[in-house]
Amino acid sequence: MSAQVIAIDAMGGDFGPRSIVQASLACLSATPSLHLTLVGQPSLLEELLSGQSAADRARLTIMPASEVVTMDEKPAQALRGKPDSSMRVALELLRDGKAQACVSAGNTGALMALSRFVLKTLPGIDRPAMVAAIPTQKGYCQLLDLGANVDCSAEHLLQFAVMGSVAAQTLGIARPRVALLNIGTEDIKGNQQVKLAATLLQAARGIHYVGFVEGDGLYRGEADVVVCDGFVGNILLKSSEGLAAMIAARIEALFRKNLASRAVGALALPLMKRLQADLAPARHNGASFLGLQGIVVKSHGSAGVQGFQSAISRALIEIQENLPERLHGRLGDLLS
Amino acid sequence: MSAQVIAIDAMGGDFGPRSIVQASLACLSATPSLHLTLVGQPSLLEELLSGQSAADRARLTIMPASEVVTMDEKPAQALRGKPDSSMRVALELLRDGKAQACVSAGNTGALMALSRFVLKTLPGIDRPAMVAAIPTQKGYCQLLDLGANVDCSAEHLLQFAVMGSVAAQTLGIARPRVALLNIGTEDIKGNQQVKLAATLLQAARGIHYVGFVEGDGLYRGEADVVVCDGFVGNILLKSSEGLAAMIAARIEALFRKNLASRAVGALALPLMKRLQADLAPARHNGASFLGLQGIVVKSHGSAGVQGFQSAISRALIEIQENLPERLHGRLGDLLS
C-alpha cells in the first residue's frame, strides 16, 4: 500500500495541541505507511514534541500557521479574517495535493465554511453533509445530516441519501438499506420535504431505499443509512448523548446505594461507558464531511487522545477506499 | 370538592375495551368524587362489566356509540365518515357540558382532528399542541409539540411556549423555565422559525424564557418546558424510547451472560423498566392536547391498564386546575 499523508489542524479543539500531538504520534507508530503534517504554531508544537526520539518523528512534519480559529468564532469571521489559520492551511495542503485528508477538532461551523470555500463541493452536490455512525440493536447506522444544514429541500435529502449509501459501502455494507427519518411510516406522514424526498428516492436508480423509519426504528436497526435535515439530526444525536448520560448516572447511583452490588456495578459501568462513547460518535469516532472535493474528518472538540486517533483512522479508511472519487462516480450515475 | 365527570372513549387503542374498562373501574374506586361515562358499543361494555357489583358501577354510565375509529384510519375519514364513533361522541359530551374532560387511547391524528372540529381552539391559538412530561436529570420537563404540528411558524412556537408554561404551573412549578430546542445555544444558531421565536419570547411578558437548549441540555434538566415543532419533538421522543429500549436490552444481555450477576440484574432491570416507561410518556402518563376549548388527554394505543389510569389521572388534575380557563386567561395577557 502506498503512503498516506494527512494534514492535522493541530490547534483546534477544547483540549488544545497537547492531546492532538499525542494522538498523532500514536497513529504514526500504529500505521507504518502514514505520514502526518501538523499545522500550527511551530514553537509550541516543537515544545510538545521535544521529548520524542527521531524515529518517532520520522514521518511527522510541522507546517507553520500563525492564526487559530477559536471555538466560538463565527464561520464568516474565520473565513474572511484569518487567512493563516491552522485550519485553513491544513485544508490548503489537501487542496494542493500535499495531503490526502484533513482532520480537525476545531469549530464545526468554521471547518464546514472553510472546507467548502477551499476545497469546493463535488459536481451535483449543493451542500456537504456531516455523517457519523450511531449504534443500533443490530450494529451501526450512518446518520446524516448531523447539523451542517439546518434547512433542507427534498433534493438535498436525496443527495444525502446517495452520499450516505456510498459511505456505508466503504465501511463494508454491500447493499445499504437507506431510509428517511419521519414521524410515521405511512405515506401521508411528515413534512413536505420528506414526502417529496420519498418520491425522489423511490425513483432513484441503484439505491436500496426502504422507506420511512421512525426514531425508535432507527435504534431497532431498521436501516443502515438514515437521512434527515441537519436540525433534526443534531437534536437526535445530542438528545441521545444526553439520555445515555442520564441513564448511566442513574445506574451508577443505583449501584452506589447498594454496597453489595458494587462489584456487579463494575460489570455494568464499562458497558455504559462504551455505549456513551458510541452515542457521542462525533466525539468518539469522528464525523465525516461528505460531498467535498477532498476528505475532511471532524473530531469532537473535547475528544481527547483516543477520539482524535479514531478520527485519523476514519480519514485513513476514506483515503484507502477513495471515498470522494467513489462519491463522484455514484453521484454522476444517480443524479443524472 | 365537587364531582368530576370524564368521558371515556372505550373503544380506542390496541388493547380494546377490556383494559379501558378495568382502568376505569380502578380509577372510580380510587377517587370517590369521580364519575365516568364509557362511550362505545353497549352490549360489549355491559358484558365486560357483568361481573361487577352495583357499588362499583354506581358512578359509571354507558353512552352508546355505534362506530369505532380504527388505528390506521385517516383523520379526514374519521371526521367525515363516522358521525357516531365512540371518539366523536365522547368529545361531544365534553362540548355539551356533560363531561369536563375526554380521554382516548385511539388514533392520534383522528383524535386531534375531531377535537379541533368538535371543541374548537381557544382564542389566539391556531393549532393545538401535544405535550407530555419526559424525565431529566433534575426531574421532568414538559416537551411540546410531540407531533400534532409538523410545520410550525415562530408564532406557533410562541403559542406552544405560553401553553407549556401554564401546563407546567398546573403541575406545581411556580415559575417554569421555558426554552427553545435548538442545535446550539448562540444567537446565530438554528433555523429561521427558531431564531424568530427567540425574539418573540424575549419580548413576551410573564414568561420565564431562558434561551436555547440543546438535545443534551434537555436531559440535563436545563428547562422545565422545552418547545419545538412537532416533527422534531416526535423524533426526539421516539428515538429516546428506542435508545432506552436498546440500552435495556444490552444490560439484560450482560446480566444474562453472567450467572453470578443475575441477582443484581434484578436490581437494575426494574430501574430500566421504570425509565423506559418514563421515556414513553404518551404510553405511560398520557399526553395532553393543549389549546382546545376543553380537556383532552391521549393515552397511548398500547398503554394497558396502568397507562390508561395515568391518563385519567392527568385529566383529573387538569379539571381541578381549570387548565383551559387558565390558558385562556394567560393567552389573553401574553399574546395581546
Those residues of chain B that have pLDDT short of 50 are none
As a whole number of angstroms, the distance between CA A74 and CA B295 comes to 46
Q: A178: alpha, beta or left, given left = phi > 0 and alpha = psi -120 to 50?
A: beta
d(CA B324, CA B318): 8
Measured in angstroms, the CA of A230 and the nearest CA of chain B are apart by: 9
Task: Kindly list the distances between the CA atom of residue A55 and the CA atoms of A44, A51, A52, in Å, as whole numbers in the listed order.
Answer: 20, 12, 8
Tell me which DSSP letter residue B133 carries. Answer: E
Query: Nearest-CA distance from B4 to chain A in Å?
Result: 35
- Closest-CA residue to B265 (of B244, B250, B280, B246): B250
With the C-alpha atoms ordered B42, B43, B45, B46, is the resulting torsion angle positive or negative?
Answer: positive
Measure CB to CB from residue B261 to each of A150, A250, A267 and give the nearest one. A267
Contacts of B272 in chain A (CB under 8 A): 247
Backbone angles phi, psi at B8, to 5 degrees: -110, 120
Place of cell 427553545: B180
Pick from B149, B239, B269, B283 the residue to mutate for testing the A interface (most A CBs within 10 Å): B239
State the pLDDT at residue B44: 95
Q: Are A236 and A144 in contact (CB under 8 A)?
A: no
d(Cα A48, Cα A254) in Å, to the nearest integer? Answer: 42
Chain B partners within 8 Å of A138 (Cβ): none
Q: Which residue of A has its CA nearest to B271?
A: A251
Taking an 8 Å cut-off on Cβ atoms, the answer to whether A215 and B230 are in contact is no
For testing the chain B interface, which of A239, A273, A275, A302 should be mutated: the one with the most B CBs within 10 Å? A239
What secondary structure does DSSP assign to B115-131, as a single string? HHHHH-BPTT-SS-EEE
**Separation of alpha carbons A153 and A129, rounded Å:** 13
- Chain A, residues 186-225, CB within 8 A of chain B, namely 186, 188, 190-192, 214-220
- Distances in whole angstroms, Cα of residue A137 to Cα of each of A208, A213, A275: 20, 14, 12
Residue B1 · residue B320 · CB < 8 Å? yes
A 113-132 residues with CB < 8 A to B:
none
- Residues of chain A predicted below pLDDT 70: 1, 257-268, 271-272, 275, 278-284, 301-303, 334-336
B266 touches chain A (CB under 8 A): no
Among the partner residues A147, A183, A243, nearest to B243 by beta-carbon distance: A243
Those of residues 276-335 in B touching chain A at CB distance below 8 A are 279
What sign results for the dihedral spanned by CA atoms A158, A160, A163, A167?
negative
Cα B56 to its chain centre, rounded Å, is: 27
Find the angle CA(A127)-CA(A235)-CA(B289) to the nearest 5 degrees: 125
Domains of chain B: 1-125+291-321 (3.40.718.10), 126-281 (3.40.718.10)
- β-pair type (A129-136, A178-181): unpaired
Report how many Cβ contacts below 8 Å link chain A to chain B.
155
pLDDT score, position A16:
83
The three grid cell numbers given for residue A138, joined into one nine-digit string: 443490530
Distance from CA of B29 to the nearest CA of A (A): 34
Q: The sheet that has B34-40: what strands, in order across it?
A: B60-64, B34-40, B4-9, B101-104, B295-298, B287-290, B129-136, B139-144, B225-227, B178-181, B209-213
Which of A296, A320, A307 has the alpha carbon at shortest distance from A131? A296
For residues B7 and B119, give the distance between their C-alpha atoms in angstroms, rounded to a whole number. Answer: 14
Residue type (1 letter), B80: R
Q: Pairing between strand A295-298 and A101-104? A: parallel
Task: Quote the pLDDT of residue A205.
Answer: 86
Amino acid occupying residue A274? R
Joined together, the cell numbers standing for residue B223 give: 428547562
Q: How far apart are CA B231 and CA B246, in angstroms?
A: 22
pLDDT digits (tens, 9 = 90+) for B117-149: 999 999 988 889 999 989 899 989 999 999 888
CB < 8 Å & 24+ apart, contacts of A138-141: A138/A220, A138/A221, A139/A221, A141/A218, A141/A221, A141/A223, A141/A224, A141/A225, A141/A226
Q: How far apart are CA A74 and CA A148, in angstroms?
A: 14
Task: For residue B127, give every residue at least 6 positions away whose Cβ sits within 8 Å of its Cβ, in sequence order, or none.
Answer: B121, B148, B149, B152, B156, B159, B291
Cell of B135: 424525565
> Three-state SS for B221?
coil
Alpha carbons A68 and A85: distance in angstroms, whole number = 5
Contact A135 B242 (CB under 8 A): no
Q: Do A239 and B240 touch (CB under 8 A)?
A: yes
Q: Give the distance from residue B222's alpha carbon to the nearest chain A alpha carbon, in angstroms.
A: 11
CA distance B90 to B67: 12
State whether the Cα torsion A102-A105-A107-A109 is positive or negative.
positive
pLDDT of residue B53: 82
Within 13 A of A115's CA, how many CA atoms are on the CB side?
A: 30
Inter-chain residue contact B267 with A250, CB threshold 8 Å: no
Residue of A220, A267, A269 to mutate, interface with B, max B Cβ within 10 Å: A267
DSSP state of A260: G
Region of residue B211 (phi > 0: left; psi between -120 and 50: alpha; otherwise: beta): left
The complex's ipTM works out to: 0.88
